Structure 1
Amino acid sequence: MQDINTLQDRLDAALTRIGRGLSDLGPLQTEPEVPPQPEGPDPAELEAELASEREVTAQLQERLKTSRERADARIAEVESDLQTAQDQLAEIEADRVRLKAMLTALRDTCEALRTANEEGLGDSDLINTAMATEIEALHAMRASDRAELEAIVAMIGDATDEGGR
């Protein structure tokens, strides 16, 4: 029994020490502990920034689409202008070939006239042929000049239209 009394005394002394230690700590806190805040930016702020970036991206995509449409329209316009210029060039080249053929014929007719004059034969058919060939050559030159001038006027018109934009 003496062992029990000794143990009881020891337990009382231990409880007294625990009581003093608790009184030194102060009153018990009844407020719940606040969970620690996560480090880094606020998720709401991140969502707002993401929404803002999405809006900017959408605007940029729309501007890119508009720019592409304008570029495609300009490419189509330039291709059309190129085709027109190629058509005009083909027409001028055809006029040049016709003019060259007429000038060759005129040269041949003039040579035949010179030969006839040297022999003292004034052939009226040769003179009429030379005159007709010369008139035809003049018409071809005029048509060629006109086509060239029309091409130049068209290019100037296009340049002034583009300058006004």
Structure 2
Amino acid sequence: MSDISELQSRIANALDRIGSGLDYLGQAAPESEGDTAEVLALRAQLDEERTANAQLEDRVRSIREKQDSTVETLAGEVERLTRLLATQEETVARLARVNAELRSNNAALREAISAGVAEPHLVNKSMMAELDALRAAQSADRAELDSVLGELDAMIDAAETGGA
């Protein structure tokens, strides 16, 4: 990109020099037919340089537009992946919390059973923790499926965009 900018700058400087030379030649009366031919040749070169400059400007513009669209696409992808990661982290944290509670309740239930005391509230608490663990696992599975579906949608969109 810097090469294009440098070339564009050099061409613009050359055009300025040619233009100032033409202005000088336009003010001075041509002395002979050789001078007129030289002026015509310089004008032809000036027109060629202007055309080349316009083509370079079009190329630079198209490169910038392509770069901007690529940046927008990548920013959207980063945003989508960030949301997906946040959902995954939330699900994993919930799953870890529920599993820790389940281990704690099971340990308390084992102690009560070894002591020969059957406490119904410990059984209920353990069952509720197990249900929460199952729900958290189901939620984790759902989040994983959503991420796979999101990736598939992104791949399909990319394939449709690339194929079109």
TM over 0.5: yes
1:65 to 53, 61, 64: 61
The aligned counterpart of 1:131 is 127
Gaps of 5+ in 1: 1-34
Q: Distance in 2 between matches of 1:101 and 1:119?
A: 27
Q: Distance in 2 between matches of 1:163 and 1:115?
A: 59
Runs of 4 or more, structure 1, over 3 Å off, are 35-38
Q: Distance in 2 between matches of 1:113 and 1:69?
A: 66
The aligned counterpart of 2:20 is none
- Percent identity (aligned): 29
Q: Distance in 2 between matches of 1:37 and 1:109?
A: 105
Q: In the TM superposition, what are the counterparts of 1:12-161 in structure 2 within 5 Å?
A: 37=34, 42-161=38-157
Higher helix proportion (structure 1 or 2): 2
Highest Rg: 1 or 2?
1
Moved more, 81-90 or 45-54: 45-54
Gaps of 5+ in 2: 1-31
Q: How many residues align?
A: 130
Matched AA of 2:159: G
Moved more, 101-110 or 43-52: 43-52
Matched AA of 2:137: M
Q: Distance in 1 between matches of 2:68 and 2:62?
A: 10
CA gap of 1:123–1:155, structure 2 versus 1, over 3 A, is: same
Q: Distance in 2 between matches of 1:71 and 1:157?
A: 23
**RMSD value over aligned CA atoms?**
2.1
TM-score by length of 1: 0.70
TM-score by length of 2: 0.71
TM-fit CA distance, 1:55? 1.4
